[in-house]
């Protein structure tokens, strides 16, 4: 019997985490007087019910994939990057500045340019806390959070002053950016744009980097055991800085995609930084953890969580429970996934035929 169960045992725990989160969600829905089944059916239909829904889900999943791949790189190198929010914003700002500076460059050149600019902006914003950790021993969790706050205020400074759309209405947004920077629509009839391809390509590159390159090998070695890596002659400080810079670059690309793939084709700060980033800097951590810190699995898990975000709107419409529920449930998923790591190790040990567990079973 256990021969057939064992290969799937490792999957049991993350699946259990989602089921547990859905149970918590059902209890909350019930507490608000809504029928959990109706709610979840609306959520599922809104996420995966047809071509339009699948496209909407893909759109929501793009920033999650990009941030998530970055989180894979950082966490594998032993660096906890909580700065996705700030890195998205700085990527978006640099990409916007480039589009404002050279609006007339032809589209086939400008589109890749603004995406790369996003990567550079986010990369710089990641490299700073990376270098501070590597060379000054500053706790990266705290510094990346502070970098988020700084980036948020920087964006509102720019949008209240230098970059605000000229005119009477003082809304925190830029003018409509150059049409040459618009991300091309991939599927006619939907809003699905080039961003999804960019995200998947970045994920594949992230996979190749982590598991098929010497740089990736060094990053993972440093994450696994910095002391041994140093003894083996690796530059631990440089690796830590590289990991956070690369991680930030992925998030920065998400920032560029959020600007040039949006319906309004502007950088909008109205409603605060969380409204612009859609909390992807945090939710990307969820999808990366759920994807087992593997870039390709992170693409899949991001699509699932993108579905939760897209379906959250239908859920709100069907049972009048605000879609903020989805964010709350994401938090529960994180807690269950990291809380069950000890359990997962035990299950895997059992799956690999650990004698002690076998005896007990």
Binding stretches for other proteins (CB under 8 A): 28, 32, 80, 82, 132, 136-139, 141-143, 145-150, 153-154, 156-157, 160-161, 272, 274, 279, 282-283, 285-286, 289, 321-322, 324-335, 338-343
Q: What's the min distance (Å) between Cβ of 101 and other proteins? A: 21
In whole angstroms, give the CA distance from residue 256 to residue 251: 9
Residue 35's SS3 state is: coil
DSSP string for 220-276: HHHHH-HHHHHHTT--HHHHHHHHHHHHHHHHHHHHHHHHHTSSS-S-B-TT-HHHH
Alpha carbon distance 251, 72 (integer Å): 12
Looking up tokens 């009839």 gives 189
The nearer residue to other proteins, 43 or 132, going by C-beta atoms, is: 132
- Least distance in Å: CB of 179 to other proteins? 28
Minimum gap (Å) between residue 178 Cβ and other proteins: 24
Q: In this complex, which beta carbon is closest to other proteins, that of residue 5 or of residue 171?
A: 171
In the chain, how long is the greatest CA-to-CA distance? 76
Q: Which is nearer to other proteins, 126 or 195 (CB)?
A: 126
Nearer to other proteins, 107 or 346 (CB): 346
Query: 43 vs 327, which CB is nearer to other proteins?
Result: 327
Neighbouring residues of 245: CB distance < 8 A, sequence distance ≥ 6:
123, 124, 126, 127, 130
Q: What are phi and psi of 193, to 5 degrees?
A: -120, 180
The encoded tokens of residue 217 equal 């090998």
CB-nearer residue toward other proteins: 139 or 213? 139
């Amino acid at each position: 019997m256990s021969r057939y169960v064992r290969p799937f045992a490792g999957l049991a725990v993350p699946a259990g985490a989602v089921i547990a989160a859905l149970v918590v969600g059902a209890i909350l829905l019930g507490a608000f007087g809504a029928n959990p089944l109706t709610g979840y059916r609306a959520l599922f239909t809104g996420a995966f019910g047809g071509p339009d829904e699948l496209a909407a889900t893909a759109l929501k999943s793009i920033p999650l994939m990009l941030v998530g791949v970055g989180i894979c790189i950082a966490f594998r190198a032993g660096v906890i990057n909580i700065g996705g929010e700030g890195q998205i914003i700085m990527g978006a700002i640099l990409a916007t500045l480039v589009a404002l500076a050279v609006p007339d460059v032809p589209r086939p050149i400008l589109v890749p340019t603004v995406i790369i600019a996003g990567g550079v902006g986010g990369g710089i914003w990641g490299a700073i806390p990376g270098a501070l950790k590597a060379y000054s021993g500053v706790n990266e969790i705290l510094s990346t959070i502070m970098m988020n706050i700084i980036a948020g205020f920087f964006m509102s400074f720019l949008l209240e002053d230098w970059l605000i759309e000229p005119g009477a209405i003082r809304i925190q947004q830029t003018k409509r950016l150059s049409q040459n920077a618009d991300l091309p629509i991939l599927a006619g009839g939907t809003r699905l744009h080039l961003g999804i391809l960019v995200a998947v390509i970045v994920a594949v590159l992230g996979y190749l980097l982590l598991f098929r390159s010497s740089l990736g090998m060094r990053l993972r070695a440093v994450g696994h055991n910095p002391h041994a890596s140093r003894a083996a002659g690796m530059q631990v400080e440089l690796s830590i800085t590289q990991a956070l810079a690369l991680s930030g670059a992925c998030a920065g690309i998400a920032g560029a995609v959020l600007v040039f793939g949006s319906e309004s084709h502007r950088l909008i700060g109205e409603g605060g930084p969380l409204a612009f980033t859609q909390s992807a800097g945090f939710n990307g951590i969820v999808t990366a953890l759920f994807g087992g810190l593997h870039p390709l699995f992170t693409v899949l898990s991001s699509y699932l969580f993108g579905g939760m975000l897209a379906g959250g709107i239908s859920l709100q419409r069907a049972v009048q429970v605000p879609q903020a529920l989805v964010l709350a449930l994401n938090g529960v998923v994180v807690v269950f996934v990291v809380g069950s790591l000890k359990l997962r190790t035990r299950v895997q040990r059992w799956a690999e035929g650990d004698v002690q567990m076998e005896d007990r079973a």
